[in-house]
């Protein structure tokens, strides 16, 4: 039996909650039909009224759903298996899919990368910070790509210090609107929370030091594919810096006002390179660009 488990994060209508928790990837009508057909339980009880008001932090299960199995932008958490690109006794490098959060927080109670890590490596329950065990650094929910996971506390402590001292090189593919005047450049601009919208970051005076290096790989009629290397790791750094230079990331609903026929932001962490914190071995791991992004490139070529 196919089963999807999510959690409500605010009081509200059942159909609205499911739609938002599944990132609006399916029509409201489709979700309402699932509810009416008795395929949804709330707190263990079947609910068949889409407009039913439910409380926050309650478990919702969708069973025997008929979501498109070929939709690469949907993750059935019961079938989701973490993709390991590298592993030894101290750390692992995994390939994070898009549209799944790194860990619980800000009302999120859906299945997370942190949950997947603990299922794969139960001993990580004692590594790192509570609710984000083993997680050394993060990617946005809609961003895919490589992530380091510490499997032992000794490795975690050293990896966090390496991140702080910029000893981990992270490279990304980003598709942006337009064509940057300089094919290769550096954005050196401080980033902090937007005072008018606390859910956004922005380039502001007094913000945290942030440096983004970019280089144009290929130009399309209305877009440019960039290779991006980060010298710092601020929240939403690439997205904020690209917007600041007038070339926001395609599909970024928070920082790009243009509509694009893509279901998430075009941002993929394709490479990570660092010296192993214990044995000094150079770890250099690549992740292939996901099919949803490569397909979008094919459509605009």
> How far is Cα 294 from Cα 128, in angstroms, rounded to an integer?
35
Asked if residue 149 lies in contact with residue 86, where contact means CB atoms within 8 angstroms, the answer is: no
In the CATH hierarchy, which top-level class contains the domain 3-63? alpha beta
**Selection from 207, 7, 249 nearest residue 106 by Cα:** 7
> How far is Cα 277 from Cα 82, in angstroms, rounded to an integer?
23
Cα dihedral: 238, 241, 243, 245 (round 10): -130
pLDDT of residue 15: 86
Asked if residue 83 lies in contact with residue 66, where contact means CB atoms within 8 angstroms, the answer is: no
Is 140 assigned a catalytic role? Answer: yes
pLDDT of residue 80: 61
> How far is Cα 147 from Cα 92, in angstroms, rounded to an integer?
8
The residue length of the chain stands at 301
**Best CATH choice for the domain 83-300 from the list 3.40.50.300, 3.40.190.10, 3.40.50.740, 3.30.2350.10:** 3.30.2350.10
pLDDT of residue 58: 86
What residues are paired with 208 via a beta bridge? 191
Residues of the chain with pLDDT under 70: 1-2, 9, 23-27, 64-80, 105-110
The segment(s) of the chain belonging to CATH 3.30.2350.10 are 83-300
Helix (H, G, I), strand (E, B) or coil at 296: helix
**φ, ψ for residue 290, nearest 5 deg:** -65, 160
- C-alpha separations of 218 from 140, 179, 214, 264 in Å: 24, 10, 12, 20
Among 15, 95, 140, 292, the one annotated catalytic: 140
The segment(s) of the chain belonging to CATH 3.10.290.10 are 3-63
**Selection from 245, 243, 268 nearest residue 256 by Cα:** 243
> How far is Cα 205 from Cα 190, in angstroms, rounded to an integer?
7
> How far is Cα 95 from Cα 147, in angstroms, rounded to an integer?
6
Asked if residue 225 lies in contact with residue 231, where contact means CB atoms within 8 angstroms, the answer is: no
pTM exceeds 0.85: no
> How far is Cα 179 from Cα 177, in angstroms, rounded to an integer?
7
> How far is Cα 268 from Cα 290, in angstroms, rounded to an integer?
8
What residues are paired with 146 via a beta bridge? 95
pLDDT of residue 64: 66
For tokens 């090189």, the residue is 169
pLDDT of residue 30: 78
For tokens 């990368």, the residue is 113
202 contact partners, CB below 8 Å, separation of at least 6: 191, 192, 193, 194, 240
């Amino acid at each position: 039996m196919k089963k999807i488990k999510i959690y409500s994060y605010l009081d509200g209508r059942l159909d609205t909650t499911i739609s938002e928790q599944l990132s609006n990837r399916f029509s409201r009508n489709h979700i309402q039909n699932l509810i009416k057909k008795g395929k949804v339980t709330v707190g263990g009880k079947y609910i068949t009224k889409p407009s039913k008001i439910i409380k926050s932090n309650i478990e919702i299960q969708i069973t025997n759903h008929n979501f498109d199995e070929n939709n690469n932008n949907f993750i059935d958490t019961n079938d989701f298996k973490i993709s390991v690109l590298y592993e030894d006794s101290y750390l692992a490098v995994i390939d994070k899919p898009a549209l799944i959060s790194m860990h619980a927080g800000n009302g999120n109670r859906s299945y997370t990368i942190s949950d997947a890590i603990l299922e794969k490596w139960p001993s990580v329950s004692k590594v790192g910070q509570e609710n984000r065990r083993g997680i050394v650094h993060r990617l946005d929910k809609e961003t895919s790509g490589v992530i380091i996971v510490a499997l032992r506390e000794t490795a975690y402590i050293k990896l966090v210090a390496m991140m702080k001292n910029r000893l981990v090189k992270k490279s990304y593919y980003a598709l942006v609107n337009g064509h940057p005047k300089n094919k290769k450049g550096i954005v050196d601009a401080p980033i902090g929370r937007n005072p008018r919208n606390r859910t956004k970051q922005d380039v502001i005076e007094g913000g945290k030091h942030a440096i983004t290096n970019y280089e144009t790989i290929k130009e399309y009629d209305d877009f440019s594919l960039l290779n991006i290397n980060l010298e710092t790791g601020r929240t939403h750094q690439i997205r904020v810096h690209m917007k600041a230079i007038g070339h926001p990331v395609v599909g970024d609903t928070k920082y790009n006002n243009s509509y694009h026929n893509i279901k998430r932001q075009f941002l993929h962490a394709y490479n990570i390179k660092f010296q192993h914190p214990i044995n000094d071995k150079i770890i250099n791991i690549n992740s292939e660009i996901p099919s949803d992004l490569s397909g979008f490139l094919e459509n605009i070529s």
